[in-house]
Amino acid sequence: MPVWDELKVVLARLQDQLPGALMQSPMPEVDEGRHPPFTIHLAAWAAAAAEALHHQFGDNVDLTVGALPYPPGRLPQRPQSPVQHPRLLDPRDITAALDGPAVVRSGHVLRHGLLLHNLTSHDLEISGEATAAVVDPQSGEIVGGFSGFRSSPPVVLRVAPKQTGRVPMLIGTASLTPRLGYAVPAGDWGIQATLILDPGGGDSPRRRTPILPLTITA
């Protein structure tokens, strides 16, 4: 049996039995032009599904779990670029706080809210939904975040002087460092969101929030 004929059955079963596990894969309904290796991207919590696919199909599948290649130790096809850290928000202008406690399961995604208080005398404009990075609260090292595709429409949020506005925030817990596995494990972590200020104004500055608390559960 050709590899694709066998794989498409497995992918269809996976979609049905583990909704959300497949983040990117060939569509099982399309047979034309299907030749290995097949690129498959699974959610950070779906390492067991990746293990089963690797066991059954070996090098005929190119697997990624969360942000890291599978199996462990395999080098990524595209090396990650060095992370450029934007400057921190100036607390004299803008303060940031969570809209309630942030709690998420390891390997999963949480949609939360960021409260920004505008201390300036002019309107504050922020672009769209903020994406948070998971950090070690002691060292500040970025250890995780959101991995996948986003399709949120461009939105500009405005906060009037001396007022507080709520910015939607996406928190992902895919691990970015192999020593932690494919998902950032349970524990007390931190998050930092990068904000795009004054969007549409040419050179829109990016600023980071201070480290805010995140609880990851098993």
Domain endpoint, select from 70, 103, 119: 70
Residue 81 lies in a domain: no
How far from 8 is each of 33, 40, 146, CA to CA, in Å? 13, 12, 27
Domain assignment present for 133: yes
Alpha carbon 86 to its chain's center: 18
Angle at the Cα of 90 (from 86 to 95), degrees rounded to 5?
A: 110
Identify the pLDDT of residue 83. 61
Q: Say whether both 168 and 117 belong to one domain.
A: yes
Domain span holding position 45: 3-70
Report pLDDT for 125.
92
- Provide the pLDDT for residue 155: 79
pLDDT score at 1: 56
Q: Indicate the residue among 44, 70, 96 that finishes a domain.
A: 70
Residue 199 confidence (pLDDT):
64
Same domain for 124 and 185, yes or no, is: yes
- CA 16 to CA 68: how far, in whole Å? 24
CB atoms within 10 A of CB 72: 11
Residue 193 and residue 116 in one domain: yes
pLDDT per position in the chain (218 positions), as tens? 589 999 999 999 999 999 999 999 999 989 998 999 999 999 999 999 999 999 999 999 999 999 999 999 877 666 565 567 899 999 999 999 999 999 999 999 999 999 999 999 999 999 878 999 999 999 999 999 999 877 666 678 999 999 999 999 999 999 999 999 999 999 999 999 999 887 655 567 899 999 999 999 99
Beta strands in the chain (DSSP E): 22-24, 38-42, 61-65, 68-70, 87-88, 94-98, 103-105, 109-118, 124-127, 130-135, 142-145, 156-159, 164-172, 174-175, 187-196, 206-208, 212-217
State the total domains in the chain: 2
CA 155 to chain centre: 19
> Do 178 and 149 contact (CB within 8 A), yes or no?
no
Helix axes of 3-17 and 47-57: crossing angle, nearest 10 degrees:
160
